[in-house]
């Protein structure tokens, strides 16, 4: 992927710090050092406070759901301007005249925008390992570490697809967040309807990633939340994450060909 010129060009956009003056670079390095030190101290303090299994689960679920929310908020916006930005700058035709294929263009833009999400997941990794050592089943840790990247990639695919079919970045962004919100609200509405008629539905976790994780955790803890179809949630977001780029590439190639 590093040989992809689109990928390298997009990454250079994240390295604007090179144009900072010397004092700003020093200040930024100091702030990053303090942040890393504070993060390490926070993990050590958390390790000391996690003394019971129930308390570990509270921390685990709370911060995991918070990270999932952050992924769903950030991922679509990172790619919503990938293609529309080129159209608005009138550089898309120039990009298409190069010898790059549609796959190289789409993958270069997608993978470069996954870098911030990868950094966010790397910050979560020590916390996940710590909770695994303190009592959270490793099956839950492994399942979560598999599911969160799938959700992040699915969100970026949604944003990239909307950027491909839209002419303006504002339109693509609004459409991407409407799709994500629709995936969440369909399951929430179905769940509320199920509760109203006094029965639970096992299909709630398919579209809503929060319900998928809740179904996994409840199954591991022996609690019946009625979310028995949570494996289908893994399957749905896996297909959306892994199959999305191929469809977007074919759509982009037909549209711009």
97-151 pLDDT per residue, tens = 888 888 888 888 899 889 889 888 998 998 888 888 888 889 999 999 999 999 9
Return the pLDDT at 1.
65
Within-domain flag for 140: yes
Using DSSP's 3-state secondary structure scheme, residue 15 falls into: coil
* Structure confidence at residue 23 as a pLDDT band (50, 70, 90): low
Distances, alpha carbon 221 to alpha carbons 50, 62, 120, 188, 202, in Å = 18, 16, 27, 23, 17
Residue 234 pLDDT exceeds 80: yes
Question: Measured between alpha carbons, how far is 79 from 161 in angstroms, rounded to an integer?
Answer: 9
Within-domain flag for 35: no
Is residue 18 exposed (0-12), middle (13-18) or buried (19+ Cβ within 10 Å)?
A: exposed
Within-domain flag for 223: yes
Return the pLDDT at 138.
92
* Structure confidence at residue 239 as a pLDDT band (50, 70, 90): very high
Domains: count for the chain:
1
Within-domain flag for 119: yes
Q: What is the 3-state secondary structure (H, E, C) of 102-166?
A: HHHHHHHHHHHHCHHHHHHHHHHHHHHHHHHHCCCCHHHHHHHHHHHHHHHHHHHHHHHHHHHHC
* Structure confidence at residue 241 as a pLDDT band (50, 70, 90): very high
Mean pLDDT of the 213-226 span = 80
Instruction: Let me know: does 60 contact 136? Beta carbons within 8 Å.
Output: yes
Q: 209-244 burial by CB neighbour count: b if 16+ within 10 A, else e? A: bbbbbbbbbbbeeeeebbbbbbebbbebbbebbeeb
Within-domain flag for 217: yes
For the stretch 142-199, pLDDT in tens is: 999 999 999 999 999 999 999 998 889 999 999 999 999 888 887 666 656 555 544 5
Within-domain flag for 152: yes
Within-domain flag for 26: no
Return the pLDDT at 116.
86
């921390």: which residue's tokens?
A: 59
Residue 201 pLDDT exceeds 80: no
Domain that holds residue 69: 5-11+54-256
């Amino acid at each position: 992927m590093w040989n992809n010129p689109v990928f390298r060009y997009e990454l250079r956009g994240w390295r604007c710090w090179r144009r900072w003056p010397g004092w700003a670079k020093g200040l930024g390095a100091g702030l990053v050092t303090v942040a890393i030190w504070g993060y390490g101290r926070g993990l050590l303090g958390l390790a000391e406070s996690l003394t019971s299994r129930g308390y570990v689960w509270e921390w685990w679920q709370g911060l995991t759901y918070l990270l999932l929310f952050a992924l769903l908020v950030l991922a679509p916006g990172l790619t919503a301007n990938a293609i529309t930005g080129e159209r608005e700058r009138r550089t898309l035709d120039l990009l298409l005249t190069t010898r790059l294929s549609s796959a190289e263009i789409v993958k270069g833009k997608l993978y470069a925008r996954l870098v911030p999400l990868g950094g966010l997941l790397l910050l979560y990794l020590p916390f996940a390992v710590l909770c695994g050592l303190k009592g959270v089943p490793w099956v839950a840790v492994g399942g979560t570490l598999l599911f969160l990247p799938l959700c992040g990639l699915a969100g970026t695919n949604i944003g990239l697809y909307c950027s491909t079919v839209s002419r303006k970045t504002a339109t693509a962004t609004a459409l991407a967040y409407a799709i994500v919100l629709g995936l969440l609200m369909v399951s929430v509405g179905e769940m509320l309807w199920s509760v109203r008629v006094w029965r639970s539905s096992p299909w709630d976790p398919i579209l809503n990633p929060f319900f998928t994780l809740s179904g996994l955790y409840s199954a591991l803890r022996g609690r019946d939340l009625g979310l028995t179809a949570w494996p289908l949630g893994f399957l749905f977001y896996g297909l959306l994450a892994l199959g999305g780029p191929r469809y977007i590439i074919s759509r982009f190639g037909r549209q711009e060909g």
